[in-house]
Structure 1
Amino acid sequence: MKTDKSVKETAINMPEIKSDDKAKAPLLNSSKAIAVTVEQPNRGSKKGIASGDFVLRLFAMGAALGAAVTMGNNQQILPFFTQFIEFLAQYNDITTFVYFVTANAAVAGYLFLSLPFSVICINRPLATTPRLVLVIFDTVMMGITITAASASASMVYLAHNGNQNTMWLPFCQQFGNFCQTASGAVVGSLIAGTFLMFIIILSAFALK
């Protein structure tokens, strides 16, 4: 019998898979899967923090601007015996109140300018550079707000109670509306400082 030699055999060389490669392959796949599952929740949480940061900036800006406008328009005219002689109390009569208005107006302006950077942090929640810049300036502005509110609070307390040791008499009994308006402005500035403190805390969590 004759064999048919027209049929040719073809051999395919298969690379050998070592036992180490077999062990590493599923580990690599699992590590990639873990990286994907961890990155997505981290991105979502940082985006939520950035959104909360934006809302708090709006509240802080409103509180600081309201405090500056309230104190800047604070004045009271007190008639004295006749209509031709009057006593006028204005915020610019006290240097501390002038600093208060300037500081809160500057903080409100900064918060307005920082809103675009906050939007960038919402769109790019994993970016650290804009968040770090905001943390630095937020800390400075919080210090300015707290110092202005604290100094003005001491002046309001002195206006209400006076100081017997220095013979400073309280004048809020005569200028009641002036003192009440100043007290409201100080409270607004303290609220703005509190919002800035929460903003810094959120930024610290975002950077972490």
Structure 2
Amino acid sequence: MNSTKNSGEAAINISKSTKHKALAYTSAIPLRQAPWKRGASIFDFILRLCAAAAALAAAATMGTTDETLPFFTQFFQFQASYDDLPAFTFFVVANAIASSYLVLSLPFSIIGIVRPQAAGIKLLLLIFDTQAVAAFTTAAAAAAAAIVYLAHNGNSTVNWLAICQQFTDFCQRVSGAVVASFIAAVILIFLIVLSAVALRSH
């Protein structure tokens, strides 16, 4: 009788210990995953800061680009300004919107750092990063790059002259703005990939 009772108690103790081990193992999985997700969220925040700075620099550089060639009379002067070309105007607007969005998205990125398991915020940022910003910024940079190429090389077929030999400072500034915009676009694409990987791991 006693042996039966002891064996029953031993079986209960073994089942309890097995259950505790299973619970401990299950609870340990999120703890091991959390540092990676928090690190990815911190990296996301840093990338957003860099992309916002690049987009703002692109918009500010292009928006303040203006050069007038020195001539003997003020009534006969050649001037080049960004707002003479619709592609450059679109470039300034697109990068200004992109930098504003990236700054506004920083609080949501901070929430992702505090709560690495929050998939809804990552999904929201992924949607806006993809549709509202990455394609918008890339289109503006590509359109401006086409104009910059013509400014540097011209087009002999349609008799478009290269103006960068005269407007040197103008071409240098718009070229730098286009490079900064492409940097912002590349960072945004990397952000999209990072968000997709983080969502996949949920």
With normalisation by structure 1, the TM-score equals 0.87
Distance of 1:145 and 1:155 partners within structure 2: 16
The equivalences for 1:73-84 within 5 A come to: 73-84=64-75
Q: Which amino acid aligns with 1:68?
A: A
> 1:184 aligns to what?
176
Alignment length, in residue pairs?
Answer: 195
Contact 1:79 1:85 in 2 (8 A): no
Q: Which amino acid aligns with 1:169?
A: L
* 1:154 is the counterpart of 2:146: yes
1:116 aligned residue (107, 120, 124) = 107
Larger proportion of helix? 2
Q: Which moved more, 1:20-29 or 1:49-58?
A: 20-29
Seq. identity, %: 47
> Any gaps of 5 or more consecutive residues in structure 1?
1-13
Distance of 1:128 and 1:67 partners within structure 2: 32
Residue 81 of structure 1 deviates from its aligned partner by: 4.3
Over the residues paired in the alignment, what is the CA RMSD in angstroms?
2.0
Distance of 2:8 and 2:82 partners within structure 1: 84
With normalisation by structure 2, the TM-score equals 0.89
Contact 1:152 1:186 in 2 (8 A): yes
Distance of 1:137 and 1:15 partners within structure 2: 64
> Residue by residue, what CA displacement relative to the aligned partner does 1:20-56 show, whole Å, maximum 9, x if unpaired?
8666544422221211221102111111111111111
Residue 19 of structure 1 deviates from its aligned partner by: 9.1
> Any gaps of 5 or more consecutive residues in structure 2?
none
Distance of 1:90 and 1:49 partners within structure 2: 42
Distance of 2:180 and 2:137 partners within structure 1: 10
> 1:8 aligns to what?
none
